[in-house]
């Protein structure tokens, strides 16, 4: 029994339509997949991961006594990495602390002397004013004979002695005022100089311990126990994981 030609054509058209539908669906599926997942994807066989490299350098001169981390070890920000011999820096810190205390006591004594001199000068000034008043009164009474010349002379001698003491006290006060004028106990130049010397000694002492500036993995560790380091000498490198990226060579 032969199949009618029209039936054959119908079947063939149906098969072609089915194939076209499959192709269209496949194309749409691939297009959707590419649009959502592949359009930002780049493939390369020449790529590597890199990141910010944080160098750790020495801040002071000294002998390394401890290295507390190993290669590829993860450290947190602030962790102690390297310790230097701090005996010399500790001695300098103690000396500067003692010098600061000594200067503070000396300047405090100068301010106390200034206060006492002012009080003494005020008392002497009041006493001199009374003696001058007595001299004037005695001089006026001398012509009448109510007081002797010796009494007047003694009063005048006392007045001149007090005036000499006043001039000497005023000179001493001016010398002290030159040291304390326009400043205070805590802001005196000598105290400030000793204070900054102590701060410098403290910073030098604190630099004997080297801490991690960031969190990351230790890499390229060069420092060893017993080695002598100077400011700027590279000790190791830290690689933080929060700043990584891929560098790749792509074909044009």
pLDDT in tens, 44-102: 667 666 778 899 999 999 999 999 999 999 999 999 999 999 999 999 999 999 999 99
- Output the CA–CA distances (angstroms, integers) from residue 222 to 39, 57, 62, 70, in the order listed: 44, 10, 16, 10
- Closest of 217, 238, 215 to residue 73, by C-alpha: 217
Least confident of 10-19, 61-70, 195-204, 214-223: 10-19
pLDDT in tens, 226-237: 999 999 999 999
pLDDT in tens, 42-53: 666 676 667 788
Place of tokens 């030159």: 178
CA gap 64, 75 in Å, rounded: 19
Of 177 and 2, which is predicted with more confidence? 177
Out of 104-113, 152-161, 172-181, give the one with best mean pLDDT.
104-113
DSSP 3: P
CA gap 55, 64 in Å, rounded: 18
Which CATH number is correct for 48-85+208-252, 1.10.10.60, 2.40.50.100, 3.90.190.20, 3.30.110.30? 2.40.50.100
DSSP code per residue over 49-92: EEE--EEEE--S-EEEEEE---TT-EE-TT-EEEEE--HHHHHH
pTM over 0.85: no
The dihedral built from the CA positions of residue 205, 207, 210 and 213, taken in this order, carries a sign that is positive
Q: Which residues pair with residue 83 across a beta bridge?
A: 66, 209
CA gap 156, 36 in Å, rounded: 114
The dihedral built from the CA positions of residue 103, 106, 110 and 116, taken in this order, carries a sign that is positive
Please give the sequence-ordered ranges of beta strands (E in DSSP) within the chain, or none if there are none: 47-51, 54-57, 62-67, 74-75, 80-84, 209-211, 216-219, 228-229, 234-239, 244-248
């Amino acid at each position: 029994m032969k199949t009618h030609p029209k039936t054959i054509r119908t079947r063939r058209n149906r098969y072609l339509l089915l194939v076209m539908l499959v192709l269209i669906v496949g194309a749409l599926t691939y297009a959707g997949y590419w649009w959502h997942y592949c359009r930002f994807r780049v493939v390369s066989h020449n790529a590597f991961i890199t990141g910010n490299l944080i160098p750790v350098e020495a801040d002071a001169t000294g002998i390394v006594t401890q290295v507390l981390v190993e290669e590829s070890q993860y450290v947190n920000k602030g962790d102690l990495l390297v310790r230097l011999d701090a005996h010399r820096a500790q001695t300098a810190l103690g000396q500067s602390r003692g010098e600061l205390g000594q200067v503070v006591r000396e300047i405090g004594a100068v301010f106390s002397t200034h206060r006492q001199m002012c009080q003494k000068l005020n008392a002497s000034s009041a006493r001199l004013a009374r003696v001058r008043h007595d001299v004037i009164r005695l001089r006026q009474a001398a012509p009448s004979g109510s007081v002797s010349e010796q009494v007047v002379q003694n009063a005048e001698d006392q007045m001149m002695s007090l005036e000499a003491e006043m001039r000497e006290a005023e000179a001493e006060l001016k010398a002290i005022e030159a040291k304390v004028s326009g400043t205070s106990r805590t802001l005196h130049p000598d105290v400030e100089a000793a204070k900054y010397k102590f701060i410098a000694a403290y910073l030098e002492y604190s630099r004997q311990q080297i801490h991690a500036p960031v969190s990351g993995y230790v890499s390229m560790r060069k420092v060893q126990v017993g080695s002598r380091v100077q400011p700027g000498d590279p000790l190791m490198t830290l690689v933080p994981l929060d700043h990584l990226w891929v560098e790749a060579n792509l074909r044009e």
